[in-house]
Amino acid sequence: MPSRQPKRRDAVQTRAALLAAAAEAFARHGFKETRVREICAKAKANLGAVSHYFGTKEALYREVLVMAHRQLVDGERVPEISPGDDPRTALRNWVHFALRLFLLRGAAHPYAGRLFARELRDPTAALDELVAEVMLPVRRSLERVIAALLGDFDEPGLRGQCANFVLALCVMHEQGQEVLRRIGYPAPRTETGLIPLADAITEFALGGMGRIRDLGDRPLRS
């Protein structure tokens, strides 16, 4: 009986080639403007390969988008706060993790940043899966740190708002890096350079949450 191993190997290689070609095409053109024919030609696969291995163009796009961002997160241990940990140190660790993810690992990935930028401009159903599978677990780790910092003042709405503030401080250094460079505040591109930025963001966030605690039950939001 002939071995099936070469056929299985070919299938794995073809699937990988389709994913690589699709990532490049979707990053360049976006989901709507990318053609299956282009992906198959780049992967040197027949025109029915996308249907055979993924079912639909939409399913291929979901896998590309989620896979690219999972590769970023899986390469770093998401910081978690444990009972007895200093929440201030935990926040600093989380901010450092986020900056490293956005500014170092994200910059090194060939397509993740462009895929996400295009997805934000013209969202698809794949964004729901990306948020649920990759982004939400990372955000929840931040919310647990913030809950510990807020202490008796912790409640879901305030916790979520504080998480938004911390995330915004981190993300803007990646999303706005060209503007920051032009106005004289370039985002750091080395591990050493991340440390003072992480410390500054942490102290800024801690000051804000400290002010919230000082205000007590006075209204903070409309």
Selected residue with higher pLDDT from 38 and 221 = 38
Q: In angstroms, rounded to a whole number, what is the distance separating the alpha carbons of residues 141 and 204?
A: 19
- Please check whether residues 204 and 141 belong to one and the same domain: yes
SS3 197: helix
Distances (CA, A) of 140 to 31, 80, 126, 146, 167: 29, 9, 20, 10, 12
Total of domains in the chain: 2
Q: What is the reported pLDDT for 8?
A: 56
In a domain, 62, yes or no: no
64 assigned to some structural domain = no
168 and 78 belong to one structural domain = yes
Residue 114 lies in a domain: yes
Same structural domain, 90 and 32: no
The tens digit of pLDDT for each residue in 35-94 reads 999 999 999 999 999 999 999 999 999 999 999 999 889 878 899 999 999 999 999 999
Residue 222 has pLDDT above 70, yes or no: no
For 7-38, what is each residue's pLDDT tens digit? Answer: 555 889 999 999 999 999 999 999 999 999 99
Query: At CA 150, angle to CA 204 and CA 88, rounded to 5?
Result: 50
Same domain, 82 and 184: yes
Query: For helices 136-150 and 87-99, what crossing angle results, to 10°?
Result: 150
Q: Would 221 be classed as within a structural domain?
A: no
pLDDT value at 218 more than 60: no
pLDDT of residue 3: 46
Residue 179 covered by a domain:
yes
Same domain, 78 and 173: yes
Q: Note the pLDDT tens digit of each residue in 117-147.
A: 999 999 999 999 999 999 999 999 999 999 9
Do 34 and 79 sit in the same domain of this protein?
no
Task: Assess whether 35 and 77 both reside in one domain.
Answer: no
Residues 154 and 178 in one domain: yes
**Residue 85 and residue 49 share a domain:** no
Radius of gyration of the chain, Cα coordinates, nearest whole angstrom:
21
- Tell me: pLDDT of 104 over 50: yes
Q: Which CATH number belongs to the domain containing residue 138 in this structure?
A: 1.10.357.10
Closest CA to 72 of 135, 143, 129, 136: 135
Domain-located, residue 220: no
Do 38 and 146 lie in one domain? The reply is: no
In a shared domain, residues 106 and 191? yes
Look up the pTM and report it.
0.85
| Full domain range(s) for residue 193 | 69-215
Q: 77: left (phi > 0), else alpha (psi -120 to 50), else beta?
A: beta
